[in-house]
Amino acid sequence: MPIITYRDALNQALREEMQRDDRVFLMGEEVAVYQGAYKVSKGLLQEFGEMRVVDTPITELGFAGVGVGAAMVGLRPVIEFMTWNFALLAIDQVVNAAAKMLYMSGGQYPMPMVFRGPNGAALQLSAQHSQAWESWLAHIPGLKVVSPGTPYDAKGLLKAAIRDDNPVVFFEGEMMYNHKGEVPDGEYIVPIGKADLKREGAHCTLVTYGKSVPLALQVADTMAKDGIELDVLDLRTIRPLDTEALATSVRKTNRVVVLEEGWEFCGVGAQIVDYCQRDCFDDLDAPVVRVHQADVPMPYAKNIEKAAKPDLAKTVAAVRKVMYLD
C-alpha cells in the first residue's frame, strides 16, 4: 500500500470529491495561488480553476457566511480556515447559522458543508495561535465534529464529511501534515461516528483522537515493554460519539485514561468520563484519569510550553495511576 502524508491524503480527498461532484468547491485564505498555507490544496487551482478554488481576503466571518449561503441554495462548500484560532471570528456563522439552519427552517434547509483546518498547538506559537477548539464545537447540536489521527482516516473521513448533508467541523493538525501512513489507492470512505480500535490490549483503555493518536500509540508501545497492554481507542469522530465502541473497550479493560490536547475544564474528556460512569459504572476498577493541556494559555518559551502540553511521560503516569502501579 502506498505510504503518503496526512497532507497528501487530505489533498487526494479534496481532489477526488471535486472530480466526483461539481458542486463541491474550496474557499479560504491562501488556498489557491499560494497552494494552501500548509499546502493541503496543492495543485487544486490548476486542476479546477479559480471558481472552485477561491482565495479570500482575511475575512473569516465573511467567507464562512458565503459558504453558508452557497450551501443553502445547492452548493457543497469546503471552507478552509488557515487555523482554527482564526475561525473564532467566524464562529457566529458556524454556530448561529450553519448549525441551526436545518432546525430553524423546520427541515427545509440542510447545510451540506465542511469547515476544516488545523487545530491545536504546534511549536512555540504562544497563546493566540495554540488552541484546541474541539470541545467548543462539539458542544453544539447541529454539527458533526471529526478529528482524524492518521492519513488513512484523514482521507476517508474528509470524503465522508464532504458527502455528508450536514455541517461537519473537521479538525486537522499543523504537526500532523507531515505524518505518514498507509493509504490505499482508490475509493474508500471512513464513516463519521465510528471509533477505531487502533491497538488491542487487555489492561487499560486509552481513549483519544486527532493529533494525540500517534502519541497514544507511542505510549502503548512503551508500556508494552513492561507487559502492560493498552486498548488504544481512536474516537475519530467526537460528535456523534461512538459510545458503543467506548463501552465495549471499557467492559474489557475496566480502566480508562483519556488523552486530549485541549484544556481540562469542560473538555472532550469530561464527556467521555460521563459516558463511562453512565454506561460502565459497575465495570470500572478505578476512577478515570485525564491527560490534557495545563489550565493556562499556551506560553512561548520552550521549557514551559513543553510543561504545558500532554506528553508520553504524563500519559504513562496516568495509565500507571489507573492501574494502581505506583
Partner 1 sequence: MAKKKADAPAGSTAGATDPSTRAELLRSMLLQRRFEERCAEAYALGRIGGFCHLYIGQEACGTGVISMLRPDDYVITTYRDHGQALARGITPRAVMAELFGRSDGCVRGKGGSMHLFDRATNFLGGHGIVGGHVPIGTGVGFAIKYRGGDQACACFMGESVVNTGAFHEALNMAGLWKLPVVYIIENNRYGMGTALERASAIHDIYQRGAAYDMPRGVVDGQDVLAVRQAMGEALHRARTESMPTLLEVRTYRFMGHSMSDAVSGTYRSKQELEEYMQRDPINVLRQHMESLGEIDDARMAAMDDEVRAVVQDAWDFAEASPEPALESLYEDVLVETTT
Q: With beta carbons less than 8 A apart as the criterion, state whether 301 and 125 touch.
A: no
Quick one: what does residue 266 bind among ligand TPP, partner 1, none, with the CB cut-off 5 to 8 Å set by partner type? none
Residue showing the smallest CB distance to ligand TPP in the complex = 86
- Nearest approach in angstroms of CB 129 to partner 1 is 6
| Chain-centre distance for alpha carbon 263 | 15
The partner in contact with residue 110, picked from ligand TPP, partner 1, none with C-beta cut-offs of 5 to 8 angstroms by kind, is none
Side-chain-side CA neighbours of residue 191 (13 Å): 7
Alpha-carbon 76 to chain mean position: 20
Report what 3 binds from ligand TPP, partner 1, none; CB cut-off 5-8 Å by kind: none
Grid cell at residue 324: 494502581
Q: Which does 175 bind (CB under 5 to 8 A by kind): ligand TPP, partner 1, none?
A: none
What's the rounded Cα separation, in Å, for the pair 201 and 227?
Answer: 10
User: Shortest gap between Cβ of 30 and partner 1 (angstroms)?
Assistant: 6
| For partner 1, the closer CB: 66 or 224 | 66
35 binds, among ligand TPP, partner 1, none (CB under 5 to 8 A by kind): partner 1
Q: DSSP secondary structure string, 117-137?
A: EE-B--SS--GGG-B--HHHH
Q: How far is the CB of 152 from partner 1 (least distance, A)?
A: 28
Among candidate residues 83, 148, 85, the one with its CA nearest the CA of residue 297 = 85
Tell me the closest approach of the beta carbon of residue 60 to ligand TPP, in angstroms: 6
CA neighbor of 41 nearest in space, from 20, 17, 63, 57: 17
Which C-beta is closer to partner 1: that of 69 or that of 191?
A: 69
State the residues that interact with partner 1 by CB under 8 A. Answer: 29-30, 33-35, 37, 55-59, 61-62, 85-86, 88-89, 123-129, 294-297, 299-304, 307-308
Nearer to partner 1, 92 or 182 (CB): 92
Report d(CA 160, CA 155) in Å as an integer.
9
208 Cβ contact list (under 8 Å, min separation 6): 149, 215, 216, 232, 233, 234, 235, 258, 259, 260
Nearer to ligand TPP, 125 or 317 (CB): 125
Provide the minimum distance between the beta carbon of 57 and partner 1 in the complex, in angstroms, as a whole number: 4
Q: In the structure grid, which three cell numbers stand for residue 196, read together? A: 477505531
Q: φ, ψ for residue 120 (rounded to 5)? A: 85, 180
CB of 90 to ligand TPP, least distance (A): 9
With CB cut-offs between 5 and 8 Å by kind, which of partner 1, ligand TPP, none does residue 308 bind?
partner 1
- Pairwise CA distance, residues 273 & 261, whole Å: 16
Q: How many CB atoms lie within 10 A of CB 189?
A: 14
Q: Which is nearer to partner 1, 61 or 286 (CB)?
A: 61
Tell me the catalytic residues.
60, 129
Residues that bind ligand TPP (CB under 6 A): 29, 58, 60, 82, 86, 89
Q: Which is nearer to partner 1, 89 or 197 (CB)?
A: 89
